[in-house]
Amino acid sequence: GNGVVFSGDTLFMGSIGRTDFPGGSYSDIIASIKNKILPCGDDYVVYPGHGPATTVKDERLNNPFLK
């Protein structure tokens, strides 16, 4: 069956979390997504902290920040 990922403010449909706050790091957030979320598998449903749900596959294929 499909697994789920609760991504909080890390990954959103078509976007990523903000990194312009103190302690934020663009390279760290991209590494977290690529090393922890994407390996879960294409069929996993991603539930962000807010906004619509998506899938790992849709984000891998369509999210401009992950290109």
Tens-place pLDDT, residues 4-21: 999 999 999 999 999 999
Total domains in the chain come to 1
pLDDT at 2: 78
Candidates 32, 6, 15; CA nearest to 67 is 15
Record the pTM. Answer: 0.92
Query: pLDDT tens digits for 21-66?
Result: 999 999 999 999 999 999 999 999 999 999 999 999 999 999 999 9
Q: Which residue has the higher pLDDT, 3 or 2?
A: 3
| Residue 1, pLDDT above cutoff 90 | no
6 in Cβ contact with 54 (< 8 Å): no
- Domain carrying residue 41: 4-66
